[in-house]
């Protein structure tokens, strides 16, 4: 693979100015208003070139309490707005994001390290979910049911929960926030966003864009709140009984802590956690088409997607031929400055991620894995940040401990099978995670078996496309240690609302259900 890179990225001074980001920023906001930020300073360094982009002042406990009270007051008014009127605000936010797409996409790429195309694609996801939410604002439907009692009517309706805590990860620093907020806002909720401390400036940009739209529409203060900080902010949100729903995206370890804290107070959690995703390459697959999905799934975002492809389960009959295609494709990868659109792979988020990558590669070899495409940390001109690594391919066995884990880095494990599609599905389902999965086959029976109740146990199951790159129209999420949550499309909006069953007696008598008599 090529390691030729362009000069280090500029600090994007004009982009930062356009997005309202200064050298030092308050990271605590209730909408249009910004609090001082009396907590720890979070410094954002770009993994692209190691440069300091800026810093964010995080929230103190007192400021957290202040934000919560403003949010509660804002909710009391926001929930009374008709849903289509709330949808109109979200529509305008989508238009504002269109206007800022280039700048925000560049910031995402520079602060997080994903390619510019992926950064722009992430902003497009924000635009798409706004469009989806606008239509949804006129479709928050319930059901009407027939009562067993005469002159009675039964129906169900949905009401907003109230305050929704949103905890997001560094790898999608803006899109996942929008998945939650666009739906929560049209449902009548207000949101409190705890962004990743690794990408705080993206949250400042999103809040400033949102604030402009909210100001024009006289949206009450407290509907869109951000509370930057480290782990303790997430702990405050999780334990706070004033927040009925907490949506958290991140590692399985983090999700277990959030789920336990929220569950202890009988709140609700929406968890989007780890993935250990596999693509099955059948002997009936189109190998050329399969190659694109496998390579992008494995190296896109430098392997730092929850939907990244970690495992390829390849039929023995096409194993050698497909390996040659993979090796050739990996040899063409360009690694370097993600703002240079000629490059395919950018850096990992920080040097701690690089250390994790190196440990995983060493463990794979110690456990018997055979390296087919060597990895390694890159150094020299263009790699001064110390965050660039080579995507690696390792031949492995399904039962190896390292294969059972999710390593957030571009390491791809190759596994053989030589039986039926059921054998491949069994290998795929052996891991604890259950987010995304795919099969490459031109055989209708294999495809249908993969999608059946005895097939993939993941929340996402694809045929002839890869594991990453989900569209917002479908509900996004997974099973097992992925957490069971669903965000984005389909009927995921129901997670942000509480269901209420109503019975109306419009007659002159009060009969009881089940024929019970209670005469006085």
Q: Which of the residues are catalytic?
A: 272, 306
- CA atoms of 184 and 204, how far apart (whole Å): 20
Other Cβ atoms closer than 10 A to 448: 12
- Residues 46/347, Cβ–Cβ less than 8 Å: no
- Residues 414/323, Cβ–Cβ less than 8 Å: yes
Angle at 474 between CA 31 and CA 284, to 5 degrees: 145
Tokens of 15: 């982009």
Q: Which of 376, 422, 374 is nearest to 395 (CA)?
A: 374
Tokens of 117: 């195309």
Sort strands 245-249 and 163-167 into parallel, antiparallel or unpaired: parallel
- Residues 83/53, Cβ–Cβ less than 8 Å: no
Q: How far is CA 519 from CA 35, 463, 506, 508, 516, in A?
A: 62, 63, 20, 15, 10
At a CB cut-off of 8 Å and minimum separation 6, what does 378 contact? Answer: 3, 335, 388, 389, 390
At a CB cut-off of 8 Å and minimum separation 6, what does 183 contact? Answer: 129, 133, 136, 487, 488, 492, 493, 496
Tokens of 255: 């999700």
**Quick one: 49 exposed, middle or buried, by C-beta within 10 A (0-12, 13-18, 19+)?**
buried
How many Cα atoms are found within 13 Å in the side-chain-facing hemisphere of 442?
8
Please give the biggest Cα pair distance in the chain.
Answer: 91
- CA atoms of 438 and 375, how far apart (whole Å): 25
Other Cβ atoms closer than 10 A to 147: 15
Angle at 286 between CA 280 and CA 290, to 5 degrees: 55
Tokens of 327: 């090796």
- Residues 56/34, Cβ–Cβ less than 8 Å: no
Compute the CA torsion angle 330, 50, 98, 473 (nearest 10 deg): 50
């Amino acid at each position: 693979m090529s390691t030729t890179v362009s000069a280090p990225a500029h600090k994007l001074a004009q982009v930062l100015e356009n997005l309202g980001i200064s050298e030092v920023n308050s990271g605590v906001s209730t909408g249009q208003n910004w609090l001082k930020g009396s907590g720890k300073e979070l410094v954002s360094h770009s993994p692209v070139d190691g440069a300091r982009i800026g810093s964010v002042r995080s929230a103190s406990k007192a400021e957290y309490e202040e934000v919560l009270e403003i949010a509660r007051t804002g909710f009391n008014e926001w929930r009374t707005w008709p849903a289509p009127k709330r949808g109109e605000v979200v529509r305008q936010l989508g238009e504002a994001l269109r206007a800022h797409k280039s700048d925000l996409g560049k910031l995402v790429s520079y602060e997080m390290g994903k390619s510019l195309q992926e950064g722009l694609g992430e902003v497009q996801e924000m635009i798409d979910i706004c469009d989806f939410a606008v239509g949804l604002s006129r479709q928050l439907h319930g059901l009407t049911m027939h009562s067993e009692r005469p002159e009675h009517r039964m129906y169900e309706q949905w009401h907003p929960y109230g305050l929704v805590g949103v905890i997001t990860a560094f790898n999608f620093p803006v899109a996942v926030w929008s998945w939650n907020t666009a739906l929560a806002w049209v449902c009548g909720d207000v949101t409190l966003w705890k962004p990743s401390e690794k990408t705080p400036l993206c949250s400042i940009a999103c809040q400033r864009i949102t604030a402009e739209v909210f100001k024009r529409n006289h949206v009450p203060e407290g509907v869109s709140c951000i509370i930057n900080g480290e782990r303790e902010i997430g702990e405050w949100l999780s334990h706070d009984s004033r927040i009925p729903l907490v949506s958290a995206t991140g590692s399985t370890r983090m999700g277990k802590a959030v789920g336990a804290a929220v569950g202890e107070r009988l709140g609700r959690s929406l968890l989007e956690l780890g993935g250990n995703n596999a693509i099955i390459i059948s002997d009936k697959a189109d190998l050329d088409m399969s190659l694109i999905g496998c390579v992008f799934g494995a190296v896109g975002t430098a392997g730092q997607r929850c939907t990244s492809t970690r495992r390829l389960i390849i039929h023995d009959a096409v194993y050698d031929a497909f390996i040659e295609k993979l090796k050739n494709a990996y040899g063409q990868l360009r690694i370097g400055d993600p703002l240079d659109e000629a490059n395919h792979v950018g850096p990992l988020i920080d040097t701690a991620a690089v250390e994790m990558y190196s440990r995983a590669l060493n463990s794979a070899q110690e456990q018997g894995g055979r390296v087919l495409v060597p990895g390694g940390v890159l150094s020299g001109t263009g790699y001064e940040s110390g965050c660039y690594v080579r995507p690696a391919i390792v031949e492995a066995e399904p039962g190896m401990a390292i294969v059972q884990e999710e390593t957030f880095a571009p390491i791809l494990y190759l596994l053989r099978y030589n039986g039926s599609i059921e054998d491949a599905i069994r290998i795929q389902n052996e891991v604890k995670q259950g987010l995304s999965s795919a099969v490459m086959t031109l055989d209708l029976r294999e495809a249908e078996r993969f999608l059946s109740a005895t097939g993939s146990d993941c929340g996402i199951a694809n045929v002839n496309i890869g594991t990453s790159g989900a569209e917002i129209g479908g509900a996004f999420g997974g099973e097992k240690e992925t957490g069971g949550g669903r965000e984005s499309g389909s009927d995921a909006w129901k997670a942000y609302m509480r269901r209420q069953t109503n019975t109306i007696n419009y007659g002159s008598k009060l009969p009881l259900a089940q024929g019970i008599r209670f005469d006085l």
